[in-house]
């Protein structure tokens, strides 16, 4: 079978964790062949740590590398659009970290560009590809819970001291950073259905980004998702799906789940241990989205059937409306 040759765009924390996660997959299936950073010395440092053959001091050099099949983009939020466009226009397949864009217009522009260039393009909402998430979708499709009536998800993490989380010019804000996980969870459970109404309320940081937001999504048939994200405090970070015939609980870290409780029956989905220290919770789980990308490429697909372009547009449209209601606006919204 053909090896999938990865290029890594950025030498930040998420890039490190993605690289460590790739090492848990068969080396005959996945190979990292190049890494790029705007700081060449940093790219060279990462290349040395992770055994990557080539290091570039610009993203353009990586885009021109004919030995790269697919690029993982882990730059800060406002640069997702220009960086993704650079690689798409160079004919590269792209896995871009969430959120795909700063707003829905950016997401649509990226999707249109990917379709025009006929390349694979996917948002890195890694939660969807965990075995526990596959089990949730299977249970829902089988009707095991009956009619899902209420969903709850929360993500709270003290992040006000992290510049990329609070600075508006870096695309900060709780909704874009962690609230997107709550919203994508609701969109997955309700199978990509557009909510009939969106109600958002919250508080802003001095910089003008949101620090605490609760969102209620009301769906047809009196179904509801209640979602909370905050950068001010740690929360239990649980989620639950509640139906007329049963309930699924994710006890903690619902965005990178390793256990489910289905009608009081616990099932575990252990992760392989990482070979190096990682920055984020359960980051070896990035292996699942990487393998999914590989399978899509082997099948010649241009978008994921599990996280479609329409799914990304829906998630980002809900994020945008929630931002509007709490009063968070970015320079990109004026374009």
Coil, helix or strand for 115?
Answer: helix
In a domain, 292, yes or no: no
Q: Which two tokens stand for residue 74?
A: 């882990």
Whole-model pTM over 0.85: yes
Q: What is the mean pLDDT of the chain?
A: 97
Number of domains observed in the structure of the chain:
2
Across residues 142-147, what is the average pLDDT? 97
- pLDDT of amino acid 241: 98
In a domain, 296, yes or no: no
Check whether residue 151 and residue 253 sit in a common domain: yes
Question: What CATH number does the domain containing 67 carry?
Answer: 3.40.50.720
Across residues 286-310, what is the average pLDDT? 98
- The 3 state secondary structure assigned to 35-94 is EECCCHHHHHHHHHHHCCCEEECCHHHHHCCCCCCEEEECCCHHHHHHHHHHHHHCCCEE
205 phi, psi to nearest 5 deg: -80, 165
The residue ranges of DSSP E strands in 102-236, in sequence order, are: 121-124, 148-156, 197-204, 210-219, 223-230
Check whether residue 145 and residue 132 sit in a common domain: yes
Give, in order, the Cα–Cα distances in Å from 170 to each of 76, 290, 297, 331.
6, 26, 32, 11
Boundary-marking domain end, from 126, 154, 183: 126
In a domain, 183, yes or no: yes
Check whether residue 86 and residue 150 sit in a common domain: no
175 phi, psi to nearest 5 deg: -60, -50
Check whether residue 199 and residue 88 sit in a common domain: no
Confidence check: pLDDT of 120 > 90: yes
Given a contact cutoff of 8 angstroms between Cβ atoms, the answer to whether 11 and 46 are in contact is yes
- pLDDT of amino acid 86: 98
Question: What CATH number does the domain containing 228 carry?
Answer: 3.30.360.10
Check whether residue 90 and residue 232 sit in a common domain: no
In a domain, 298, yes or no: no
Of 151, 153, 135, 149, nearest to 245 by C-alpha is: 149
Check whether residue 122 and residue 148 sit in a common domain: no
Coil, helix or strand for 334?
Answer: helix
258 CB contacts (<8 Å, ≥6 apart)?
Answer: 130, 132, 268, 269, 270, 271, 282, 285
Check whether residue 86 and residue 177 sit in a common domain: no
In a domain, 290, yes or no: no
Euclidean distance between CA atoms 162 and 78, whole angstroms: 16
Confidence check: pLDDT of 1 > 60: no
> pLDDT category, 334, cuts 50, 70, 90?
confident
Euclidean distance between CA atoms 61 and 63, whole angstroms: 5
222 phi, psi to nearest 5 deg: 60, 40
Boundary-marking domain end, from 60, 95, 126: 126
How many Cβ atoms are within 10 Å of 253's Cβ, its own excluded? 18
In a domain, 213, yes or no: yes
In a domain, 249, yes or no: yes
Determine the structural domain holding residue 52 and report its residue range.
Answer: 4-126
68-86, pLDDT tens digit by residue?
999 999 999 999 999 999 9
Check whether residue 247 and residue 208 sit in a common domain: yes
92-110, pLDDT tens digit by residue?
999 999 999 999 999 999 9
Check whether residue 265 and residue 321 sit in a common domain: yes
Boundary-marking domain end, from 69, 95, 126: 126
3-state helix, strand, coil in the chain (%, to 5): 40, 25, 35
Check whether residue 87 and residue 153 sit in a common domain: no
In a domain, 299, yes or no: no
Check whether residue 143 and residue 53 sit in a common domain: no
Euclidean distance between CA atoms 140 and 210, whole angstroms: 33
Check whether residue 229 and residue 132 sit in a common domain: yes
Euclidean distance between CA atoms 288 and 13, whole angstroms: 18
């Amino acid at each position: 079978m053909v090896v999938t040759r990865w290029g890594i765009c950025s030498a930040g924390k998420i890039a490190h964790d993605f690289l460590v996660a790739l090492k848990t997959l068969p080396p005959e299936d996945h190979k990292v062949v190049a890494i790029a950073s705007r700081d060449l010395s940093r790219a060279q440092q990462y290349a040395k740590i992770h055994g990557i053959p080539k290091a570039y001091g610009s993203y353009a050099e990586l885009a021109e590398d004919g030995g790269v099949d697919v690029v993982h983009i882990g730059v800060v939020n406002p640069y997702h659009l220009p960086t993704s466009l650079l690689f798409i226009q160079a004919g590269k397949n792209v896995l871009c970290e969430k959120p795909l864009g700063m707003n829905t217009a950016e997401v649509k522009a990226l999707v249109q560009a990917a379709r025009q260039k006929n390349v694979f393009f996917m948002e890195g909402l890694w939660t969807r590809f965990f075995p526990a998430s596959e089990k949730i979708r299977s249970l829902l499709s089988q009707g095991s819970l009956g009619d899902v009536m209420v969903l709850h998800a929360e993500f709270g993490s003290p992040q006000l001291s992290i510049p990329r989380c609070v600075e508006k010019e870096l695309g900060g804000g709780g909704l874009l950073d962690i609230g997107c996980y709550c919203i994508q969870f609701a969109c997955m459970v309700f199978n990509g259905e557009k909510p009939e109404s969106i109600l958002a309320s919250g508080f802003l940081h001095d910089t003008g980004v949101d620090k605490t937001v609760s969102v209620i999504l009301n769906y047809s048939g009196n179904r509801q998702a209640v979602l909370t994200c905050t950068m001010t405090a740690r929360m239990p970070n649980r989620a639950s799906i509640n139906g007329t015939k049963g309930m699924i609980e994710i006890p903690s870290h619902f965005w990178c789940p390793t256990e489910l409780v289905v009608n009081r029956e616990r099932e575990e989905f252990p992760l392989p241990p990482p070979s190096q220290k990682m920055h984020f919770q359960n980051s070896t789980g990035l292996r699942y989205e990487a393998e999914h990308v590989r399978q899509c490429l082997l099948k010649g697909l241009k978008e994921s059937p599990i996280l479609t372009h329409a799914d990304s547009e829906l998630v980002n449209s809900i994020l945008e409306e929630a931002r509007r209601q709490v009063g968070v606006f970015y320079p990109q919204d004026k374009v």
